[in-house]
Chain A
Amino acid sequence: MQAYTGKILHVDLTTGRSKIQTFDDAFAKMYIGGTGFGIKTLLDNQKPGIDPFDPENPLIYALGAVCNTMVPCGASKFGVFAKSPASNLLGEAYSTGQWGAELRSAGYDILVIRGKAAKPKYIWIDDESMQLMDASHLWGKTAWETEETIRKDLGDEYVRVSGIGQAGENLSRIACLINDHFRAAGRTGLGAVMGSKNLKAVAVRGTYDTCVADVPKLQEFCKDLYERARGPKTSKYRTLGTAANVLAMNKQGALPTRNFQAAMFEGAEKISGEYLNERYVTKIEGCSACPMRCEHIAVVREGPFTGATARIEYEPTMAFGSNCGVDRMDAIIKSVELCDMYGLDAISAGMIIAFGMECFERGLITTQDTGGLDLRFGNAEAMVEMVRKMAFRQDIGKVLADGVRPASKAIGKGSEAFALEIKGVELTGYDIRGLKTAALGYAVSRRGADHQRHGSYGPDMDGRVDRFKAEKSRGKIVVGDEDNYAIFDSIILCKFSRGIWNGYDEIAKIYTMVTGIPYTGEEMRKTGERINNLARIYNIREGLTRSDDTVPPRVMNDPIPSGVSKGSRVTQEDLDILLDGYYEARGWTPEGVPKSEKLKELDLEGYESILAGKRK
């Protein structure tokens, strides 16, 4: 097989030793890379039921199959996997930039980190060799300072670093991993897993070749793909960027506002993509081998947050903007910058602060708890300060730093009623009360509340289906979307580029051109299905049941108060209809456990023993 290095590096931080394991075509063909490799490796290497901060929780990096090649929008993508401290179920997060390509150049496709170092260390991988380097002078530094210092220490400006800031050191369950300055493997708290191992970063440098199977065919196909990537199917990402969604979502009554109290925000214009690009965006940058380039870098040039610089997308704009009732773009940029520096998931951080604001306005917490901050909706300065307090676990930040689920338990007084989370992971930028297909996607998403494992708000928003109605048939739609995205997350291809690919057949074609491994479109679809079932097996093993596939109390009980989606909510009846349809479409029991025929069909019979006892 070509392109793959075929090598897995296992590092044991307790003993300081490492070993190399190899994998073959058969493994590559079954799981492809990225999410397939990550979930499989986690399932097979983690003792069932352990605590996410147990040293034996493996922190796994897995590259996409087409890493370090010129395949558009795929050269540097990687996934990170572990048992999540937020959900106590599958933790997975994806990032891009330059780090992924570098790991492959260094000779590895998968990195498995176990154990716990006695003192802070960072892993340094230099063309296959691995060393554990002293990181005591890095502990307490931001993610940016860490990257800079490591490059200086090693005397090499091309070293790529994926690491944590202070939030990960403080084991915040929403801590993330930052690489290449602006990129994050953001969700499910994997930064805390790294921190729990006394590990500060993974630094990589590589000079090995990546060869592909069919150079002329690949070049020809890439020529065409690059054209498509510069065409109308990607124009939105290249012009206004995803922040253009703010006004569109607002118009559709689907923009989370003030902790999901409403779905329309009166300040939407001031946090819109149009406003952002007009006043703040200085440059649009790109990741490795990306002909699209979509990273809108925004800089604040006046006011109290002058100098704040961050890459701005729709999600953090919603999380720190409409959802916190804040209509100040400069405060949003500052908050995202702090999240990048301290290593916090920007989506979760914004969502949690919104929760804190509602607690404050209801008098459940006071200025005593907030260290004097007037934590009301709309108070931009308080919001920015609260990001710091969460990173350093100060005042109520101590409790908020772990997510809305533990925070609402700690604060109590009925605050669970407005904790917007599923499986312990905060919701993202779609008010699913008025998007019933998306609601299903969120309810069943394998890593907790998430739009990125399915993208099923698409059929709701574009009117293919009646978004205000729950129907059994949505199950099939979500299954199709999930399987498609599982392939995107394995090859790994940027989802912003999905418009340029004409179905599984083309993806199979490019996979074979790169790796030499024969693959049909139908086989791709089946692999996507296999990966989603594998994730389900893992989650069930770690304790998941049907009751975890749900929506937050507010989504169920509080209808959207006004606008085009007025009156919408997802009732228990809705949820049952949606789940029944989904489980049936998946070939799972009514409790959501894959049936043995399904396992056989997907060559996963080896895991039958895990599920046998769970089927009623």
Chain B
Amino acid sequence: MRLIVQYLGPIQVKLDKKEEEINVDQGLSLFSLLRYLSESYGDWFGNEVLENNEKHLREGVLVTVNGIASGQIGGLEAKLKEGDIVTILPFFAGGG
């Protein structure tokens, strides 16, 4: 299935890419998608997004699917569907 993956923050800077369309297996989970991207780009990607490469987002990283935070759609176990837009954003509180 086709998915659109969007990158913000340090990942965007490192990949020099804001968005891309990828093709993956039907019904892939969010976690599996992140692992797939980590395999494509290198360990640093996994370390940036996941806590010790476990099924747990690193603090300060948000992942949304069609704008909704992963926590609200069943976490990293959530199954993706055709045309979903997955966004990986740095998020941290405070600031001025």
Contacts and interface: CB of A to CB of B under 8 A. Distances in A.
Interface in B59-96: 59-60, 62, 64, 67-73, 87, 89-96
B47 interface: yes
A239 B9 CA distance: 9
B90 A461 contact: no
Contacts of B59: 233, 499
A495 interface: yes
B58 interface: yes
| Binding site secondary structure of chain A | helix
| Binding site secondary structure of chain B | mixed
Interface stretch (A64-72, A143-151, A245-253): A245-253
B96 A248 contact: no
Nearest to A235: B10
A235 B59 CA distance: 11
B88 to A, nearest CB: 10
Given A240-B9, A245-B95, A316-B96, A464 B58 contact: no
A199 to B, nearest CB: 26
Given A251-B8, A463-B70, A463-B72, A315 B62 contact: no
A455 B93 contact: yes
B93 A458 contact: yes
A242 B95 contact: yes
B26 interface: no
Nearest to B94: A495
A502 B71 CA distance: 22
Contacts of B13: 240, 274
Interface in A281-329: 313-317
Nearest to B71: A463
A461 B95 contact: no
Interface residues of A, number: 44
Given A240-B90, A248-B90, A313 B71 contact: no
A314 B95 contact: yes
A162 B71 CA distance: 44
Interface string A587-609: 00000000000000000000000
A475 B58 CA distance: 26
B62 A499 contact: no
A455 B89 CA distance: 18
A251 B64 contact: yes
A462 B69 contact: yes
Contacts of B96: 242, 313-317, 346-347, 429
A219 B34 CA distance: 39
Contacts of A451: 93-94
A457 interface: yes
A496 interface: yes
A439 B94 CA distance: 15
- Most A CB contacts (10 A, CB to CB) among B59, B73, B93 go to B93
A521 interface: no
A247 B89 contact: yes
B71 A462 contact: yes
A247 B64 CA distance: 13
Nearest to A233: B59
B35 to A, nearest CB: 18
A247 B9 contact: yes
Contacts of A313: 95-96
B10 A496 contact: no
Nearest to B13: A274
Contacts of B69: 252, 461-463, 467
A273 interface: yes
Contacts of A466: 72
Contacts of A467: 69, 72
B72 to A, nearest CB: 4
A236 B64 contact: no
A241 B96 CA distance: 10
- Most B CB contacts (10 A, CB to CB) among A241, A247, A313, A347 go to A247
Contacts of A242: 92, 94-96
Contacts of B72: 463, 466-467
Nearest to A186: B96
Contacts of A244: 8-10, 90, 92
Interface of B: 6, 8-10, 12-13, 47, 57-60, 62, 64, 67-73, 87, 89-96
Given A315-B96, A499-B59, 17 more contacts: A235-B10, A236-B9, A237-B92, A247-B9, A251-B8, A251-B87, A274-B12, A274-B13, A314-B94, A314-B96, A455-B93, A461-B62, A461-B69, A462-B57, A462-B62, A463-B72, A465-B71
21 contacts: A232-B58, A233-B60, A236-B10, A240-B13, A240-B90, A241-B95, A242-B95, A245-B91, A248-B8, A248-B89, A248-B90, A251-B6, A251-B8, A251-B87, A252-B89, A314-B94, A462-B69, A463-B69, A463-B71, A499-B59, A499-B60
